[in-house]
Structure 1
Amino acid sequence: MACEDLSAALPAPAHPMAKPGYGKRSVPDQPPSRPGDFGHLPARAAYIAGFLDRLCENAAMDAKTIAKAQPLYGQQAVRSALNELGEAGHLRRVRHRVEPTDTGTDTDTGTGTRWVFRTYWSRTARDNEWWARFLDGDVPGAASPETPITTSPVTTSSPASMSQAAPSDVTQEPQPSAAYVALAQLGRAEPRLALSHADCAALEGLAAEWFARGADTARFTQVLVAGLPEAVYSPRALVQRRLRDKMPPDLAAAEGAAAPRQPPPPRLIMECTECRVPGRPEALPGGLCRACRGGTTAEVPRALPPTAVQVRAAQVRGAIRTALPLRV
């Protein structure tokens, strides 16, 4: 649905979009929109819910932007409505940790770990247990919330164009592996180790193990050509012997045996809808932390009634008189 297909409450220009990777994310497995979807909510929350439900994916969901995009409610009223929608089970704010090695995401992660902030929206009200399972990827029929939303271009070809395509356009030769190329280039670095195609193909498996253990082409070549005898009568046999004898250690296996891997920190952390404090789903029922729900971190002692104060005062005075020494 295009962003322009909103209700009359959305003035021009269209609702602003968040940065790629941020903003609104609709949960899967929802029924189509129907009149009365939000009839169980108070009028203000129902209006904001209908407004949010029609927004595009990745639309900005902060209170300031929503307040500017509709004519009825200001920023504070929108913030209160978002809290009501969270308590009713329609939305949750989430921090999503994105590693620099992640591929296929819609976020430019740069060179370090980043957090993106998303608001997951559900037209159907969900309870706290459902949201906890969803954020853990444990909802039947629902994709993991960590799965990025990506689109791929679809290319179609007509039968005529396929029949006119040259053979080179249809069938491509497989590219040689890095291990094969490194073996073939040994002869350039050291003519005494010039290998044939058959030699490279036979030794490719051993060479590939080097690269699987972290070796690069420069290190591979340096180790194999160092300290050669004056005359090399069988380059293939010599290279095969060196590939086996000088195989680098498997550091990944050694590190795994030395110390068990620590579990990675959670990739998804829920946030309080009001104050944005992070926490696990069980600590934020209704999407709100304890402070924003009106709770306190410590119980405040109740004040004593006046009669009890008088009794306590009389007891203290009696104890003082008993403890005073008699005067002679």
Structure 2
Amino acid sequence: MAVAQLSAAPRPSAHPLANPGYGKRSAPDQTPRTGRDFAHLPTREASIATYIDRLADESDLSIKTLAKHLPYGQCALATALNNLSAAGHLRRVRRPVTVDGCPRWVWHTFFSRTAHDDAWWNAFLAGRTPVTERPVAQAARSTAYGALARLGRIDARLTLSAGECAALEEEAAEWFARGAGEAQLVQALTAGLPERVAHAYAFVRARLLAKLPPPPEPRPQSPAPRYEVVCTACGEPGGDGDELRGGLCGGCWGGRPTLAVDEVRAHAGRLRAVLRTGTRMDKTEKGAGT
């Protein structure tokens, strides 16, 4: 039933961006978007997750801003974000930067439509390769395959079969690996066509190889930024992330010991008595309520 409610989520087109360097960050290793990405979540969480998933990077994900654009109050949104964190869809992080010689913290919220476990998040945020592998959906065709399949719509002389597109997919993908866009690829394949193309497959393959752009200049590798994970609920740092469970600290997850109900009632009774009589509680009485 949660999926049926997703269409009710507001459109994110008018959602504001955060200050430069802050806001949403899309996590890697996500499967392609489908209509059932959040079907495993309750209706409220699924609607909020769908909305956040559609937002551009650097969008403001503060609770106050989300409350202005979603039909939920701030308390409900805070609870929902905690639940999304526990379900593996987001993590709150911060990293130190220096601006005009002054150190400061920059805050981000990493979001993934594909749920990941704590081990994956800890590895990714520490700058290591994620420890889990998720296969790419077989139904998803690469950008290269799609560009080749659309050639016949642009010019019927370059119509390719599904098998021919698959056979040329690797050569076309190399264009994108070298920084070319789809428009550049299509232009190179369709410009100046002869009046008759006897064999579309051989013609396209020859142009893919002959007009292949040069490889890009190597760029110096900069170390991946290491983020400090903070509790999604209270914002307290969690060290290297291993101290957090589902992005939540022990207290926000429910791990801190609490007083029994009768102890709370007894302490409340002592406080009421103090208020009535105006006397102070001694240290023994105070300790009984801590």
Q: TM-score, normalised by structure 2?
A: 0.52
Q: Per-residue displacement from partner, 1:59-110 (whole Å, max 9, x unpaired)?
A: 0011111111123x11111111100000000000001111x3xxxxxxxx22
How far did residue 29 of structure 1 move? 2.5
Separation of aligned partners in 2, 1:84 and 1:125: 12
2:151 aligns with none
Mark the CA change 1:27 to 1:13 in structure 2 (over 3 Å): closer, same or farther. Answer: closer
Structure 1: which amino acid aligns with 2:104? R
Q: Per-residue displacement from partner, 1:138-189 (whole Å, max 9, x unpaired)?
A: 12599xxxxxxxxxxx9x9xxxxxxxxxxxxxxxxxxxxxxxxxxxxxxxxx
Mark the CA change 1:126 to 1:11 in structure 2 (over 3 Å): closer, same or farther. Answer: closer
Gap runs ≥5 in structure 1: 1-6, 101-108, 143-153, 157-265, 304-328
Aligned partner of residue 84 in structure 1, secondary structure: helix
Structure 2: which amino acid aligns with 1:285? R
The answer to whether the aligner puts 1:97 opposite 2:57 as a matched pair is no
Identity of aligned residues (%): 50
Separation of aligned partners in 1, 2:110 and 2:13: 24
Contact 1:270 1:279 in 2 (8 A): yes
How far did residue 299 of structure 1 move? 7.5
Q: Per-residue displacement from partner, 1:18-58 (whole Å, max 9, x unpaired)?
A: 00110000012212210110000111111100010000000
Contact 2:64 2:74 in 1 (8 A): yes
Gap runs ≥5 in structure 2: 1-6, 133-180, 185-224, 263-290
Mark the CA change 1:9 to 1:39 in structure 2 (over 3 Å): closer, same or farther. Answer: closer
Aligned partner of residue 292 in structure 1, secondary structure: helix
1:283 aligns with 243
How far did residue 114 of structure 1 move? 1.4
Matches within 5 A, 1:73-112: 73-98=72-97, 100=98, 109-112=99-102
Contact 1:11 1:70 in 2 (8 A): no
Contact 2:90 2:110 in 1 (8 A): yes
Aligned partner of residue 35 in structure 1, secondary structure: coil
1:114 aligns with 104
Mark the CA change 1:125 to 1:299 in structure 2 (over 3 Å): closer, same or farther. Answer: same
1:317 aligns with none
How far did residue 10 of structure 1 move? 3.1
Separation of aligned partners in 1, 2:123 and 2:131: 12
Aligned partner of residue 285 in structure 1, secondary structure: coil
Separation of aligned partners in 1, 2:94 and 2:129: 19
Separation of aligned partners in 2, 1:93 and 1:12: 21
Matches within 5 A, 1:136-285: 136-139=126-129, 267-280=226-239, 281-285=241-245
Separation of aligned partners in 2, 1:32 and 1:302: 48
Separation of aligned partners in 2, 1:94 and 1:136: 11
Aligned partner of residue 250 in structure 2, secondary structure: coil
Contact 1:29 1:141 in 2 (8 A): no
Contact 1:83 1:273 in 2 (8 A): yes
Q: TM-score, normalised by structure 1?
A: 0.46
Q: Per-residue displacement from partner, 1:228-247 (whole Å, max 9, x unpaired)?
A: xxxxxxxxxxxxxxxxxxxx
Mark the CA change 1:8 to 1:56 in structure 2 (over 3 Å): closer, same or farther. Answer: farther
1:295 aligns with 255
2:190 aligns with none
How far did residue 9 of structure 1 move? 3.6
How far did residue 300 of structure 1 move? 5.9
* RMSD (CA atoms): 3.1
How far did residue 11 of structure 1 move? 5.9
Aligned partner of residue 114 in structure 1, secondary structure: strand
The answer to whether the aligner puts 1:133 opposite 2:132 as a matched pair is no
Mark the CA change 1:272 to 1:140 in structure 2 (over 3 Å): closer, same or farther. Answer: closer
